[in-house]
Amino acid sequence: MIRKLEEIISAAKGLPRKKLVVACGEDPHTIEAVARAGREGLVEVIVVGNRKKIEEVAGKHGVDPSVFTIVNIEDNRAALKQAVKTVREGQGDILMKGLVGTPDYMKAILDRENGLVPPNGLLSHVTVMEVPAYHKLLVVSDVAVLVLPDLEQKLKILGYAVEVAQALGIENPYAYIISSVETVSQKVPSTVDAAIIKVMAERGQIKGAKVEGPAALDLALSKESAAIKGFKGEGAGEADILIFPNLETGNVFYKACSLLAGARLAGLVVGTTAPCVMTSRGDSEESKFYAIGLAALVSARRGGRL
């Protein structure tokens, strides 16, 4: 079981290398991250974008551009389209966002004819967080894509999170469906969804995780709080997965952990035919590097190598 982000990198290094295709990889943090991933043998890197800009930025930041292959396409939209096409056609295993806006990146992935979403697929986002105050990694969703998921969407979100947790070696993770209270109330709709999901898991309709909910955040993450409140839920204080009721809740948790608690992060777009790295253009080189390692693990698991 992987408990630190560094362990993701160690695990990925022991796998056959996947091909990472970077769309518009023209910013310093992306170039530094993919160059490091290439040097350390995590992935083979293909950067699609303006060759002159890529080489210029690489030179300014001490990166040898020979560690990756550059496909020269000067127009950003054309470069993004080509990067997605490369992965769609099986010439790449992982897609990564470079210096391109999130709406454009998502639009390219969602394109019905040329994108990376299977029929009836649902796009979501999973983040793996290493929070200094917690004793293991947390897999959280959705903090970036689905604004107000309904019950069916929450079930898919949970499935994606379980897939990522299993790629981390957590074969039967504790998954907590988060709300503000533990009692079921029509006045708090998220408690109703959480209760239904828990019952479905108890009946064997959800595989691969031990599901608890509805539950407040403190009960999922603190054994002391659970004991004080008399909460008897399975895995109290030991949550591996947190499923949030809506994007606002998840996003606030994500940013609070990052900015105030010093959390380190690795995020992926999921529900796609191939793992897609989506970090903010302002995210650190380290965060992008860990996301590449996570994508390599997920890709390997899908290929039956984990």
List of residues 6+ apart from 77 with CB closer than 8 A: 104
pTM (2 d.p.): 0.93
Q: Is the same domain home to 166 and 200?
A: yes
Q: Is the same domain home to 251 and 304?
A: no
CATH number for the domain harbouring residue 278: 3.40.50.10950
Q: Is the same domain home to 41 and 142?
A: no
How far is Cα 256 from Cα 129, in angstroms, rounded to an integer? 12
Q: Is the same domain home to 154 and 103?
A: no
Q: Is the same domain home to 134 and 105?
A: no
Domain count, the chain: 2
CB 80 within 8 A of CB 23: yes
pLDDT tens-digit series, residues 108-150: 999 988 999 998 889 999 999 999 999 999 999 999 999 999 9
Q: Is the same domain home to 243 and 230?
A: yes
72 forms beta bridges with 49
Average pLDDT value for residue range 166-173: 96
Q: Is the same domain home to 75 and 190?
A: no
Q: Which domain does 178 fall in, by range?
A: 120-267
Q: Is the same domain home to 228 and 210?
A: yes
CATH number for the domain harbouring residue 152: 3.40.718.10
**Where do we find the tokens 């391109």?**
100
pLDDT tens-digit series, residues 31-48: 999 999 999 999 999 999
**Inter-CA distances, 4 with 20, 116, 263, Å:** 23, 29, 11
Q: Is the same domain home to 124 and 262?
A: yes
Q: Is the same domain home to 191 and 243?
A: yes
